[in-house]
Amino acid sequence: MENVAKLKKEFLEYLEIEKGRAVKTVENYDRYLKRFFAFSKISAPKDISEEIVRKYRIYLNRANLDKNTQNYYIIALRMFLKYLSKRNIDSLDAEKIELAKAAPRELDLLDIADLERLLNAPKGTSAKILRDKAILELFFSTGLRISELCNLKIDDVNLKRDEFSVRGKGGKIRVVFLSNRAKDAIKKYLEKRGEIDNDKLFSVTPRSIQRMIKKYAIVAGISKKVTPHVLRHSFATDLLQNGADLRSVQAMLGHANISTTQIYTHFTDKQLKEVHKAFHGRRRK
């Protein structure tokens, strides 16, 4: 009988090679499963039982992890169990494990005035400032994840067209679109920068981008925390507030499931109150 350590290794390889998951995702699954095996002290798949999982969930809850984080651990375990079932290895049915009901995520959003001040915060004509301006405009124009932006190559972005393809989570390719402001900012940056030795569009790291955005948020007088993901949120809510349908926004964000995109409707639905107030019952006295 195969032991769980060997099966876990094969499962992680399956995620990386056959499912095309990112290396970081595989590392997270490894960490989640290690915690389960350290807690349960099981050695064989058949030893995974509903009772052990129940005790594990109590353990996670008492470790003061929020419900969403607890669910990450449980999702990894369910994926592992589904993998065992696919290989006809006797273990607990993954369908017997339900996720904890988590509170809807609160979105960190910028109002339009804050957003405009942030996008206009880089002032000057140096290559560095023009690069920062291009990065900010590109985030808001495309809704790119920070890893996707850092990995962009010059040849990826065709400025003769208003769109380009990007490889997102799970290796999935989607099309994103350039606003005139983003395209103009990238052109000015590339003209100023000139030729360099590598093929990266910006030659930046996720950490340097986070620091850059924080700096310009302070310059713009924004008190709330601003991150690349906040700009991604702003991109999505801007589309929805201006009439875009949820499926289109899902495609532009690269979400595998529309349920992920639906978090943005909690914000845009607030507009319904104003619509109701403005238009309901106007002919009644």
pLDDT of residue 106: 59
Say whether both 264 and 131 belong to one domain: yes
- Residue 245: pLDDT over 60: yes
Inter-residue contact 222 to 117 (CB < 8 Å):
yes
Do both 54 and 121 map to the same domain? no
Q: pLDDT digits over 182-206, tens only?
A: 999 999 999 998 777 788 999 899 9
Got the DSSP string for 63-83? TT--HHHHHHHHHHHHHHHHH
The CATH number of the domain where 254 resides is what?
A: 1.10.443.10
Q: What is the pTM of this model?
A: 0.65
How far is residue 115's CA from residue 72's CA, in Å, rounded to a whole number? 32
Q: Residue 138's CB: how many other CB atoms inside 10 A?
A: 26
Catalytic residues: 145, 169, 229, 232, 255, 264
- Shared domain for 256 and 138, answered yes or no, is yes
Q: Into how many domains does the chain fold? A: 2
Q: Is 79 in the same domain as 27?
A: yes
Is 262 part of a structural domain of the chain? Answer: yes
The tens digit of pLDDT for each residue in 153-177 reads: 998 998 888 889 988 887 788 989 9
Predicted confidence at residue 213, as pLDDT, reads: 96
CATH number for the domain that contains residue 67: 1.10.150.130
> Are 44 and 72 part of one and the same domain?
yes
On whether residue 150 sits in a domain, the answer given is: yes
Question: With the C-alpha atoms ordered 256, 261, 262, 263, is the resulting torsion angle positive or negative?
Answer: positive
80 and 127 in a single domain? The answer is: no
Q: Are residues 129 and 208 in the same domain?
A: yes
Average pLDDT over residues 268-279: 63
**120-150, pLDDT tens digit by residue?**
999 999 999 999 999 999 999 999 999 999 9
Q: Of 66, 96, 126, which marks where a domain is finished?
A: 96
Amino acid 144: pLDDT: 93
pLDDT band at 104 (very low <50, low <70, confident <90, very high): low
Evaluate whether 141 touches 178 at the Cβ level (below 8 Å).
yes
Altogether, the residues listed in the chain come to a count of 285
- Of the candidates 67, 96, 125, which is a domain's last residue? 96
Query: Is 167 within a domain?
Result: yes
> Is 279 inside any structural domain?
no
Q: Could you tell me if 76 and 116 lie in one domain?
A: no
User: What is the rounded average pLDDT of the residues 63-92?
Assistant: 92
Domain that holds residue 148: 112-271
Q: Which of 63, 96, 129 is the last residue of a domain?
A: 96
